[in-house]
A and B are shown apart, each in its own frame.
Chain A
Amino acid sequence: MSRSKRTLLSLCGLAGFLGLWELALRSGLLPGSLVPLPSMIPGVLWAEIADGIWLEVVTASLSHYAVGVLIGSLLGIAVGVAAALLPRFNAVHAWLARLLRPIPPLAWIPFAIIWFGINPSAAAFIISIGVFWINYFASHSAVRSVDPGYDEVARAFGHTGFMSRLTRVSLPAAAPGILGGLRAGLGQGWMTVVAAELFGIPGIGQRMMEASSLLATDIVVVYMLTIAGLYALFDFVFVSLQRRLLRWQP
C-alpha cells in the first residue's frame, strides 16, 4: 500500500467515526446528555481559549508535566545505568526495586499530599514516579545488552576508567534503548498528569473534573483532545530529535 493511500484511509477512518457519532446524536439514537456533538467542539475550544482558561490550565499542567518528566527521566536513567554497570549497587538495590516497582504512581497520592501539600510539587512527584520506572527499566536493559566487545576495544585503547568507559561506550551504545525509554516516559507522563491533578491541583485534570460535575461533556472532550494534541506534538519533536541523535544507525 502506498503512503498516500494509507494516509487517505486513516483520514477516512477518523472522519467516518466522527460522522457516525454526529449522526447517532442528531438522529436521537444516543441521548445528547451522554456525549457532546463533535461539530460543537471547535466552538467550545475557542470559547475556552478566549476566556483565557485554556492557556492557564495547559500552562499549569505542562509545568507539572515538565518537572515530573525531567526528574523521573534523569533519576530513572541514572539508577538504571548504575545498576547495569555496578554489580554491587545492582545487588543492593535489586529487592528494593522489586518491592517498589508494582506500586502504581497514583497509590503515592497520600504521601504526595503529606510531603508536599496540595500544590504543583505533589503532582510533579506523582508524574515522576511512573516516568522513573519506564526509564529505569529501559536504560538498565539497554546498558546490560551492550556488546562486551566494545568494552574490550575501549580497554585496548587505553580507556580503563569507569567514567571514560561510561561516556565512550556504555551511554552511546545504549542510546537507542535509553531514548526509547525516554519516549515511552513522555507518553506515561500524560497518563498520570490528569489523575495527579484530580485531587485539587490546578491544571487540565482539575478543569475536566469541574466540567464533568456540571455535565459539560463538551469541555471534557476539548481537554481530552488537548492532551492528545500536546502528546502528538511532544512525540513528534522528540522523534525528530531522536532521529538526529541516532543518525549513525543503519
Chain B
Amino acid sequence: MSAADTAIPVLNARGIRLGFGDATVLDDVDLAVHPREFVAIVGASGVGKSTLLRALSGLLSPRAGTVNIPHGQDRDSRAWSMVFQAPRLFPWRRVRANVELGLEGLELSRDERRQRALEPLALVGLEEYAERWPHTLSGGQQQRVGIARALAVRPRVLFMDEPFSALDAITRRRLQQELIDLRQRTEAAIVFVTHDIEEAVLLADQVVVLGRQAAGQPAGVVARHEVTLPTVERRDHPDFADQVQAVEAAIGEH
C-alpha cells in the first residue's frame, strides 16, 4: 500500500449527532479511519457506542453530520460489513450459506461465491464446519462464523460491535488473539466498540473515548489515545498497564 493510499481515510465522519425522541445522545463526533487502521471506541454503557457504530455504517441515519466511506466501482466487494454482539447467524442456513449472505447480490458466480465463503472460514479455522447447522456450534465458533461472514465481502471497513462481550473469558482471550493474527491477513480497517478498556488497548492503534463533559449533556469524544505498543505480544509489554491506565484516566474525568 502506497503512502498516498494511507493518506485518504477509508471512513470519514463529521459532526455526527444522534438521539432518541427529544433527547440528543451524542453530538459533534468526528472520526477519520485510515486504511488498515484499528480504531476502538470505548465509553461507559449507555453512552451511545453501539448507536454511533450504526450511524457510521449507515444502518441508522444521524440527526446531523455526514459519514463517507469511499468505495470505488468494485462489484465483488462491499464498502463495509459488521460483526454483531450476538453472532446472529441465520439458523435456517448452513454455516457456509451464512457466510455467503453478503456475497449474494455481488457480481460473483456460484462457484466464486462458494470459494469466497470458504476462504474466510478457513481463516477462522472452521472450514470443516461449512456444512453444519449453526446450532451445532459453540458460542465462540458461532462468533467466528460471524467474523468470517463479515470478512467474506472484503470490506474496506469492518465494524465490530462488542463482538466478544457475550463470550466466556477463555474464549474471549482466544478470539482476541485470533483477531490480532487476522489483522496481518486482511486489508480492512476495523472500528471496534467495547466497554473493556484493556481489550481496546490490546487490539487498537487508536482508542476513542466517548463521554459527557457534564451530566445531562450529550456525550461526545472526550479523548483520543494513540496506542504506541508493538502489535504482537502487547499484553506482556511493560508499558501495557500504563496505557490502559491512561485511557481509564480519560474516562474517569468524564
Q: Do A and B come from one complex?
A: yes
Do the beta carbons of B78 and A158 come within 8 Å of each other? Answer: yes
Do the beta carbons of B90 and A153 come within 8 Å of each other? Answer: yes
Given known A-B contacts A164-B105, A175-B92, A250-B135, A157 and B86 have beta carbons under 8 A apart = no
Bits for B64-97, please: 1 = Cβ < 8 Å to A, else 0: 0000000000000010011010101011111000
Q: Report chain B residues within 8 Å CB of A149.
A: 84, 86, 88
Bits for A164-204, please: 1 = Cβ < 8 Å to B, else 0: 10001100110100000000000000000000000000000
Interface secondary structure of A, over-half rule:
helix
> How many whole Å from B109's CB to the nearest CB in chain A?
18
Q: Which of B124-141 contact A (CB under 8 A)?
A: 133-135
Q: Report chain A residues within 8 Å CB of B133.
A: 247-248
A106 interfacial contact with B, CB 8 Å: no
Residue of B nearest to A171 (CB): B92
Given known A-B contacts A156-B82, A158-B102, A172 and B59 have beta carbons under 8 A apart = no
The tally of CB-CB contacts under 8 A between chains A and B is 57
Residue of A nearest to B101 (CB): A157
Do the beta carbons of B93 and A157 come within 8 Å of each other? Answer: no
Do the beta carbons of B101 and A168 come within 8 Å of each other? Answer: yes
Q: Which of A224-250 contact B (CB under 8 A)?
A: 247-250
Do the beta carbons of B59 and A156 come within 8 Å of each other? Answer: yes
B104 interfacial contact with A, CB 8 Å: yes
Q: B59, B84, B90 — which one has the most chain A CB atoms within 10 A of its CB?
A: B90
Q: How many residues of B sit at the interface, in one of the four size bands?
A: 20 to 34
Q: Report chain B residues within 8 Å CB of A175.
A: 92
> How many whole Å from A174's CB to the nearest CB in chain B?
10
Residue of A nearest to B82 (CB): A156
Q: When the two chains form the complex, which single residue of A157, A159, A248 contacts B81, counting CB atoms closer than 8 Å? A: A157
> How many whole Å from B93's CB to the nearest CB in chain A?
7
> How many whole Å from A191's CB to the nearest CB in chain B?
31
A210 interfacial contact with B, CB 8 Å: no
Q: Report chain A residues within 8 Å CB of B149.
A: 157
Residue of B nearest to A250 (CB): B135
Q: How distant is the Cα of A103 from the Cα of B101 in the complex, in angstroms?
A: 44
A155 interfacial contact with B, CB 8 Å: yes
Q: Which residues of B does A touch, CB under 8 Å?
A: 57, 59, 78, 81-82, 84, 86, 88, 90-94, 101-102, 104-106, 133-135, 149, 153
- Can you list 21 A-B pairs, Cβ within 8 angstroms, ordered by A? A149-B86, A152-B59, A153-B88, A153-B90, A156-B59, A156-B81, A156-B82, A156-B102, A157-B78, A157-B102, A157-B149, A157-B153, A158-B102, A164-B105, A168-B90, A168-B101, A172-B92, A173-B90, A248-B94, A248-B134, A249-B91
